[in-house]
Structure 1
């Protein structure tokens, strides 16, 4: 996979290029009536859903007695499954996690729902990548807008997002 050059348009592609990380743009015609964005991407790109990952934000309540406030965290799981919020909370040392409100996720990342990329977000958030990603040479994640995915090595995604890997999908 060659490093994409001259690919502008999203903070994700700019961040990957600046970091020297190889990626491939995988664009498709997004159907505005679609609601399952990840499954739509897998079908449109002819990729098995287990290799296409969705980026979800959750609000993590800290452990009891820690004195910390709830914070937004990122979970990245295959589109063929769901995010296990208890596993996400456990992995990050919290007591529980709930899905973030869409508006809060969009504000915190700078991306629109259905196109939230784990790369190039406005703010850095603790990130967990489902360990199943490591079973593949490359995976696809949103590139920062609907109909625009990026294919890259999962270890490169871990490096650029400072993610940990754990079983957070079900």
Structure 2
């Protein structure tokens, strides 16, 4: 497995500190984020999942703890939209340039607005997908927010 991805290149170019953590990806897992947390022996609240959504037809990246679900109503309100829905996997792959299960908020093919759940900032360090299945990057949540110019909001259902 290569540990150099568009995500790690983007983080390095931005001067953001991170560490790389590989794990055995299970494509059959019911929850990719929770499976990653278990494989890394981490609290699921510290392992964040990257989701792609559409708000009024516009692409939005949403980052929340792997054991939580996004409220579409709260997400839409956060970005001054009327309605939100999850993006279909083929569309998410096209927009991000990553395969589902390996979508990172960093180094996406097309830069989109990002929302990070406020609970993520309660931790010293968090994990996010590093740009491929079975690869996580660990970093400060404030660095995630700053690097992505993310909106911090309560978007948990």
TM-score (norm 1): 0.88
Could you report, residue by residue, the CA deviation over 1:2-31 in whole angstroms, capped at 9, with x for unpaired residues? Answer: xxxxx8521110011111110010111112
Q: Hey, which bits of structure 1, 4+ residues long, moved more than 3 A?
A: none
Q: Which sections of structure 1, spanning at least 5 residues, go unmatched?
A: 1-6, 62-69
Where does the alignment leave 5 or more consecutive residues of structure 2 unmatched? none
The reply on whether 1:130 has 2:117 as its aligned counterpart is: yes
Structure 2 equivalent of residue 51 of structure 1: 46
Which structure ranks higher in relative contact order (CA pairs < 8 Å, sequence separation ≥ 6)? 2
**1:28 alignment partner, one of 23, 32, 38:** 23
SS of structure 2 residue aligned to 1:120:
coil
Alignment of 1:1-170 (within 5 A): 8-61=3-56, 70-170=57-157
Equivalenced residue count is 156
Contact residue 8 and residue 14 of structure 1 kept, 8 A: no
* Greater Rg by CA: 1
What is the rounded CA distance, in whole Å, between the counterparts of 1:27 and 1:167 in structure 2? Answer: 29
How large is the RMSD of aligned CA atoms in angstroms? 1.2
1:37·1:146 contact (CA, 8 Å) conserved in 2?
no
Q: Output the TM-score relative to the length of structure 2.
A: 0.95
